[in-house]
Amino acid sequence: MRYDLNLLPVFVALMEERSVTRAAERLGMTQPALSNALSRLRTMLRDQLFIRERYGIQPTPIALELAPGIAEALTRIDNAVLGQQEFEPASAERLLTIAPNGYVEFVLVPALVARLRQAAPGIRLQLTPYNNDLVETGITSGTTALVLGRIVDPPDSLVVQHLMDEGLACVVRADHPEIGGSMTRDQFERLRHVNVVPPGRMRTGLFQAMAQQQIKRRVAISVTNFFAVAEMIAVTDCCAMLPKLICRRLAHDARLKVLPLPMDLGTFPVEMAWHVRYRQDPAHRWLRSLIGEVAAGLVGPPL
C-alpha cells in the first residue's frame, strides 16, 4: 500500500495538540483543510484515529499504538534532510522562539543577545515564559526551539542538556542597621524576607533543603520576578535569598550588599531542553552551542 507522507505531520500535530484548532494553527492550515487531511488519514490508516470530546479530541487505541512509530519516522527524515544542510550564522535570517525561566532571562539572555548581535545579526529571538509547564511553552510540540531553566520529568520527546550549577547568597541594603559584613543564621531567621515566586521547581527544592535543616524564613512580600528585588531591598530592612549570579549583578548597586548564606543549601542545576526532531537542525545545533558557551562564561569567582 502507498502512503501519503504529507499526512503524517498532521497526525503528529493532532496527537500532540489534542485540538483541531491548535493543530491547524501549528501547521499553518485552515481548519477545513486540516479536517480534510484528517479524513484522508482515517481512510489511509483505516481507523477513526481521533474522537471529538467536550474539551478537544482524544486518540483511539490504534492511534496511540501508531504514534511512536510515526513520530520516530518523521524525526529520522528530518535528521537525514537537515543533516545535509549548512548553516552560516553571519548571513542567516531566522526567528527562533525560546522559553527561559525568570532566572535565565535575567542572567543569561542579555549575554546571549549580545553574542547573537556579533555573530548572527539576522537571528532574532522571541521569548515565551517558562514556569515548569512544558506543554504551554510549545516545546513538546516543537513550535518552541528551546526551554532553559530547571527541567523536571521531561517527556521522551525532549533532549536535556546540563548547562551549569548555581548556588544561593543573600542581599540586604548597604546601610542595614543590623547586618554588617556577615550574617548569622539567627539574623537570617529574624529578618523579614523578599521572596521571588516562581521559579517553581527550584522553589520546591529550596523549601525541602530548608525543611531538612529546620531553617525558618519570615516572608514579608512575594514578588513575581527578580527585577523587582533590588528596589524592595534598597528601601527596606528586608533580606532576599537569591541565586549567586543575580547577586553578582546586584553587587554593583551601591545601595546593596551581598553576603554568603549562613547555611549550606546546596546548588540547583540550570538546563536546556529541545525536541528530538531538532537534534540535527544546523541552526538549532549552533544556537545550543552558543548558549553553552555563554553559560560557561557566566561562572565566575565565588562571592
Q: Average pLDDT, whole number, for the chain?
A: 86
State the Cα–Cα distance between residues 72 and 157, nearest whole angstrom.
Answer: 10
Task: Go through the domains of the chain in sequence order and give each one's CATH number.
Answer: 5-82 (1.10.10.10), 94-165+269-298 (3.40.190.10), 168-266 (3.40.190.10)
Top-confidence range, 89-98, 111-120, 219-228: 111-120
Q: Return phi, psi of residue 170, to 5°.
A: -115, 150
pLDDT at 196 over 70: yes
Q: Which residue pairs from 212-215 have beta carbons closer than 8 angstroms and sit at least 24 positions apart in sequence?
A: 213/263, 213/265, 215/185, 215/188, 215/189, 215/263, 215/265
State the Cα–Cα distance between residues 297 and 138, nearest whole angstrom.
Answer: 28
pLDDT tens-place string over residues 107-161: 999 999 999 999 999 999 999 888 767 877 888 777 789 999 988 888 888 899 9
Mean pLDDT to the nearest integer, 252-262: 94
pLDDT at 82 over 60: no
CB atoms inside a 10 Å sphere around CB 111 = 15
Mean pLDDT to the nearest integer, 182-211: 79
| Grid cell listed for 62 | 490504534
Q: Give the pLDDT band of residue 83 (cuts 50, 70, 90).
A: low
pLDDT of residue 199: 47
pLDDT at 200 over 50: no
Between 278 and 148, the higher pLDDT residue: 148
Mean pLDDT to the nearest integer, 230-250: 93
State the Cα–Cα distance between residues 298 and 303, nearest whole angstrom.
Answer: 13
Which residues, at least 6 apart from 184, have a Cβ–Cβ distance to it below 8 Å?
262
- Nearest-5° Cα angle at 2, 25 to 59: 45
Top-confidence range, 15-29, 253-267, 272-286: 253-267
pLDDT tens-place string over residues 17-56: 888 888 888 787 888 888 999 999 999 999 999 998 877 8
pLDDT of residue 138: 81
pLDDT at 256 over 90: yes
pLDDT more than 70, % of the chain: 92
| Grid cell listed for 115 | 553574542
